[in-house]
Amino acid sequence: MSINWLQNVPRIFLISGLVLLSSPAIAAGEPSLSGGNTAWILTSTALVLFMTIPGLALFYGGLVRSKNVVSVLLHCFTICCVVSVLWYVVGYSLAFGDGGGAQRWIGGFGKAFLIGVGVDRLAGDIPETVFFMFQMTFAIITPALIVGAYTERMKFPAVILFSAIWLIVVYAPIAHWVWGGGWLADLGVRDFAGGLVVHVNSGISALVVAAVLGSRSGFPGKLQPPHSPGMAMTGAAMLWVGWFGFNAGSALAADGNAGMAMTTTHIAAATAALTWMFVEWIQHGKPTLVGIATGAIAGLATITPASGFVGPFGALVIGLAAGLVCYLAVSLVKQGLRVDDSLDVFAVHGVGGALGILLTSFLAATAVGGLGLAEDFTVWTHLWVQFVGVLATAVWAGVLSYIIIKVVGGLVGLRVGEEDETEGLDITTHGERGYDI
């Protein structure tokens, strides 16, 4: 057999390369699909969904009384389903569509029902269907976080109606402002993975809902402790793992930026957990499982907006600040404001998200190991822009959440009856028990 064909191998590769280089897509610099980035965002999407079901559901379920555990699990599961459908119908289009003349404020309806989003449509170098799904998981967990504010006393129809309206009226516009090319993005706000869009948004809304709804029977002095610290810790551990998709996935690439975001996320969570545990230990004489788990969540929420901009030292500082400030915020809300935010959504997520947004201004600087400030920004001009972002998000979420909860109350009512609250929502609303003992 002749082996002369081997002499033509270099020529074959040369011709093939010239053909590829001369193709219109490559020559014009058009984006092409990245298999590696696509695989990472697919994985991240699954991780973020894992945060809500089962992570958040179990974390919240362990923190309530045993007679209400089924209701909390059902709230999280139902919100996941409702938001998924609404995100497909119109939510994604409002957040990431082209708003035309209103682009600074809201997207349009051009991508409702995923019109025009086919198999080959790219968002950067990943399929737009993958980007759609990744962003859907953020939209799912944000109203699910608010569940922690109204546990053990809110009517199930009110939960569904409030979450559905809130997604469209509150979440989608803020997501567009920050990530969809809206006015906060133009201003220069830096929110890597959702300090504003997810945490300040849900935290402020939770505080408003809890204030309007009123306190649980026995608040604040006669409430029972969490029925299952072990379940709460299990849920917190799932949230911690899923948060790697939340933060590192927000790089939208399998690269060094994603690696740094994962590193800073873990350092901040561990530091905040230890800080919370030691503060609680000093103040009350005993470290608790619920305390260290809650501290970890506070650290994760606080590092979220900064994770793609700060280095490991910045993550350590953010973890220390989160563990201390969020711990103190719990007492401020319950004892100072006398608002029964049942599972401390505002103190952990609202305060943590705002703290992370503001600290990004200082800790992104290369002098402290950060990845650098945005071009033409100083620490102080960046701090001002971040503050505007926090204020705008808080005002929009607070005012609109108040209006929505009032409308929902007028339509279906908000609170269950006193007898139902005493007996527990598991039996009175859902006809099921979490435990048959």
187-213 pLDDT tens trace: 999 999 999 999 999 999 999 999 999
Map out the domains of the chain with their CATH numbers. 31-430 (1.10.3430.10)
pLDDT per position as a tens digit, 362-408: 999 999 999 999 888 999 999 999 999 999 999 999 999 999 999 99
Q: What is the pLDDT of residue 36?
A: 95
- Measured N-to-C along each axis, helices 379-412 and 156-166 cross at an angle, to the nearest 10 degrees, of 140
Q: What is the pLDDT of residue 392?
A: 98
27 or 37: which leads in pLDDT: 37
Q: How far is CA 102 from CA 173, 302, 356, in A?
A: 11, 31, 29
Q: What is the pLDDT of residue 171?
A: 98
**Dist CA 3 CA 257 (whole Å):** 48
Q: Please, which pLDDT band fits residue 431 given cuts at 50, 70 and 90? A: very high
Q: Is the pLDDT of residue 220 over 50?
A: yes
Q: Is the pLDDT of residue 154 over 50?
A: yes
**Dist CA 1 CA 424 (whole Å):** 84
Q: Is the pLDDT of residue 253 over 60?
A: yes
Q: What is the pLDDT of residue 30?
A: 67
Q: Mean pLDDT for the chain?
A: 92
pLDDT per position as a tens digit, 52-80: 999 999 999 999 999 999 999 999 999 99
Q: What is the mean pLDDT of residues 267-293?
A: 97
Q: Please, which pLDDT band fits residue 102 given cuts at 50, 70 and 90? A: confident
Q: How far is CA 272 from CA 161, 348, 352, 354, in A?
A: 35, 11, 11, 16
Q: What is the pLDDT of residue 436?
A: 83
Q: What is the CA radius of gyration of the chain?
A: 23
Q: What is the pLDDT of residue 375?
A: 86
Q: Is-cis flag, bond preceding 220, omega within 30? A: yes
- 214 phi/psi in degrees, rounded to 5: 95, 165
Q: How far is CA 115 from CA 93, 107, 111, 129, in A?
A: 9, 14, 5, 11
End-to-end CA distance of the chain: 80
Q: Is the pLDDT of residue 11 over 70?
A: no
17 or 244: which leads in pLDDT: 244
Q: What is the pLDDT of residue 99?
A: 87
- The closest alpha carbon to 139, from 262, 45, 259, belongs to 45
SS (H, E, C) the chain: CCCHHHHHHHHHHHHHHHHHHCCHHHHCCCCCCCHHHHHHHHHHHHHHHHHHHHHHHHHHHHHCCHHHHHHHHHHHHHHHHHHHHHHHHHHHHHHHCCCHHHCCCCCCCCCHHHCCCCCCCEECCEEHHHHHHHHHHHHHHHHHHHHHHHCCCECHHHHHHHHHHHHHHHHHHHHHHHHCCCHHHHHCCCCCCCHHHHHHHHHHHHHHHHHHHCCCCCCCCCCCCCCCHHHHHHHHHHHHHHHHHHHHHHHCCCCHHHHHHHHHHHHHHHHHHHHHHHHHHHHHCCCCHHHHHHHHHHHHHHHCCCCCCCCHHHHHHHHHHHHHHHHHHHHHHHHHCCCCCCCCHHHHHHHHHHHHHHHHHHHCCHHHCCCCCCCCCCHHHHHHHHHHHHHHHHHHHHHHHHHHHHHHHHHHCCECCHHHHHHCHHHHHHCCCCCCC
Q: What is the mean pLDDT of residues 232-248?
A: 97
* Six token digits for residue 411: 């339509």
What percent of the chain is modeled with pLDDT above 70? 93
Q: Is the pLDDT of residue 181 over 70?
A: yes
Q: What is the pLDDT of residue 29?
A: 54
**Dist CA 429 CA 255 (whole Å):** 48
Q: What is the pLDDT of residue 108?
A: 92
Are 142 and 198 contacting, i.e. CB atoms less than 8 angstroms apart?
yes
Are 246 and 194 contacting, i.e. CB atoms less than 8 angstroms apart?
yes
Q: What is the pLDDT of residue 27?
A: 40
**Dist CA 81 CA 53 (whole Å):** 11
- The closest alpha carbon to 388, from 227, 186, 181, 223, belongs to 186
Q: Please, which pLDDT band fits residue 224 given cuts at 50, 70 and 90? A: confident
Lowest mean pLDDT among 23-27, 51-55, 199-203, 294-298: 23-27
Q: What is the mean pLDDT of residues 294-320?
A: 97
Q: What is the mean pLDDT of residues 263-270?
A: 98
**Dist CA 367 CA 128 (whole Å):** 37
**Dist CA 123 CA 120 (whole Å):** 10
Q: Is the dihedral of CA 398, 404, 405, 410 positive or negative?
A: positive
Q: What are 126's strand-pairing partners?
A: 123
- The closest alpha carbon to 316, from 301, 330, 299, 328, belongs to 299
Q: Is the pLDDT of residue 276 over 70?
A: yes
Q: What are 415's strand-pairing partners?
A: 154
What percent of the chain is modeled with pLDDT above 90? 87
Q: What is the pLDDT of residue 218?
A: 83
Q: What is the pLDDT of residue 67?
A: 95
Q: What is the mean pLDDT of residues 420-432?
A: 94
Q: Is the pLDDT of residue 12 over 50?
A: no
Q: Is the pLDDT of residue 410 over 60?
A: yes
